[in-house]
Amino acid sequence: MTARTFAERLRYIGRDYATGRPVGVDDGFIAEVERAVERYGQDESEPIPPPPPGPVDIARLGIPALGIDAPVARFGTDRFGRLDVPQDGTTVGWNPGYCSLPGTGGATFLAAHFEYRGVPGVFARLSSLRAADRVTVSLSDASTIAYEVTSVIDYALGSIDMGALLAGREGLESLTLMTCSGPSNEGNYPLRTVVLAIRAAS
């Protein structure tokens, strides 16, 4: 069997490669998930940079309900095979190798810090968003894509299906925002706040 790329493996975490459907939950699956959680951030690999910029990029993220107007930067994966994130508390990260550019009909995934070096991050109040709140993504060509929040959910780290988050809602242009949450344990957070939004009607 041909070795799969990181992008392929990431999109199919928790899913059957042949069908894309969730795998059955049995003792083997549970053991695999438990090991993945235990080893999270410990097994080193070669970092992967983001792909070269295209003619249009994401420039800024706006969330009026939270007073957010933040710059967005491009990232790949870090040396532990995780989606890389900004090394500051004010920038929002986009991983263009694993999701779509807004406005192209696909799914976009953005992440930022809840807290960074003891200071609240740009997504510190992400969990306070509510259904129907607006989120805007400004592109480098001066266009703006608007989304409407549909849900805000806290997930245990070990239960997150990253493949599903990156793929978005089938048949809908969507945006997913994610940050850490839950009580901090020496800078480690057990939960992830995930905001799902769909493109707003013009």
Closest CA to 11 of 161, 154, 157, 158: 161
Full residue range of the structural domain in which residue 68 is found:
6-199
The tens digit of pLDDT for each residue in 69-93 reads 999 999 988 887 778 889 999 999 9
Q: Would the CA dihedral through 129, 130, 133, 136 be positive or negative?
A: positive
Q: What distances in angstroms separate CA 39 from CA 44, 80, 162, one per listed residue?
A: 10, 10, 16
Cross-strand bridge partners of residue 188: 185
Q: What is the pLDDT of residues 119-170, one digit of tens each?
A: 999 999 999 999 999 999 999 999 999 999 999 999 887 777 777 888 887 7
CATH number where 94 lies? 2.40.260.10
Structural domains in the chain (count): 1
Give percent helix, percent strand, percent coil of the chain, each to the nearest 5. 15, 35, 50
**More reliable by pLDDT, 43 or 139:** 139
Q: Which residues have a Cβ under 8 Å from the Cβ of 124 and sit 6 or more positions away?
A: 114, 115, 179
Please report whether residue 166 resides in a domain: yes
Q: What is the pLDDT of residues 3-14, one digit of tens each?
A: 554 444 544 555
Is 1 among the domain residues? Answer: no
**What's the whole-model pTM score?**
0.78
Name the more confident of 14 and 28: 28
Please give the C-alpha separations between residue 150 and each of 112, 135, 147, in angstroms, as whole numbers: 19, 11, 9
